[in-house]
Amino acid sequence: MSVMPKVKACLFDMDGFLINTEDMYTVATNTVLKKYNKPPLTWKIKIQLQGRPGPKAAELVIDWAKLPITVEELTKQSSVVLDKMWPTCQFLPGALELLKHLSETNVPIALATSSAKDKYIAKTNHLREGFDLFGPHVITGDDERIPPGRGKPCPDIWLLALKSINDERAEKGLEIIKPEEVIVFEDGVPGAIGGRDAGAYVVMVPHPCAMDVLDVEYLKEVVGNGEVLTSLTEFDCTKFGL
């Protein structure tokens, strides 16, 4: 690991990193694809969708599968399936434990999710034990401060999440935290690239199926000076002074 400052804040992706909603998106999309006699998603296309704002992900699916429907129609049909699944989603291994540890040790945390605010609420209403720990520091994909076309893999949402933390610190007269003093936790390639380009240290935990199709050398390029784990339970807080 490269020499880095003591970590002063942690920023988190949500879908597929903290909670198991990524697989739910796959089920819903495949349901629509089957309706139009199209093959199911492969992980080669799936890794391009992870972490992207919903409309962009839908556009990629339509182009890939040559679906005869609009982005709005795909979103509507998928939502019929997803809205029934959100109340069943759960924390992934190690996620809740890490959030609690960081909260108990007063490490600032923020959430940066490409999910729109209404989807964020639907997914987390029954998981407030963990998500309440973020306090006001929750940035959703439809935040008006993110310019059009600047979702992940652009770094904007990560920098906005850090700004949320720093605005609160400034009000309290506390030192501002720099991007290089931050860990970005992600499962998807687009979000990891955004975290890297924001100047943060990236800890990437890809979906097991994504690991099967992602080239190891490419992953090293994606995370820069960061690291790739097979499970969040492997993350060593002590290595970063957390």
What's the pLDDT score for residue 4? 57
Domain membership flag for residue 229: yes
For residues 35 and 122, state if they share a domain. no
CATH of the domain at 65: 1.10.150.240
What's the pLDDT score for residue 230? 94
Structural domain boundaries enclosing 56: 22-87
Domain end residue (candidates: 66, 87, 108): 87
Domain membership flag for residue 3: no
For residues 137 and 115, state if they share a domain. yes
Q: Which of 227, 231, 137, 152 is nearest to 183 (CA)?
A: 227
Domain end residue (candidates: 87, 119, 134): 87
Q: How far apart are CA 232 and CA 189, in angstroms?
A: 16
For residues 136 and 165, state if they share a domain. yes
For residues 217 and 157, state if they share a domain. yes
- Cis ω for the linkage preceding 153 (within 30 of 0): yes
Domain membership flag for residue 2: no
Q: How far apart are CA 40 and CA 26, in angstroms?
A: 9
What's the pLDDT score for residue 1? 43
CATH of the domain at 164: 3.40.50.1000
Domain membership flag for residue 217: yes
Domain membership flag for residue 212: yes
What is the number of domains present in the chain? 2
For residues 40 and 129, state if they share a domain. no
Show pLDDT as tens, one digit a residue, over the chain (242 residues). Answer: 445 568 999 999 999 999 999 999 999 999 999 999 999 999 999 988 887 778 889 999 999 999 999 999 999 999 999 999 999 999 999 999 999 999 999 999 999 999 999 999 999 999 999 999 999 999 999 999 999 999 999 999 999 999 999 999 999 999 999 999 999 999 999 999 999 999 999 999 999 999 888 888 999 999 999 999 999 999 999 999 99
Distance set, CA 196 to CA 17, 142, 221 (Å): 17, 22, 10
For residues 72 and 186, state if they share a domain. no
For residues 83 and 188, state if they share a domain. no
What's the pLDDT score for residue 5? 61
For residues 131 and 230, state if they share a domain. yes
For residues 80 and 104, state if they share a domain. no
For residue 113, give the 3-state DSSP assignment: coil
Tokens 């599968």 belong to 65
Catalytic residue list = 13, 15
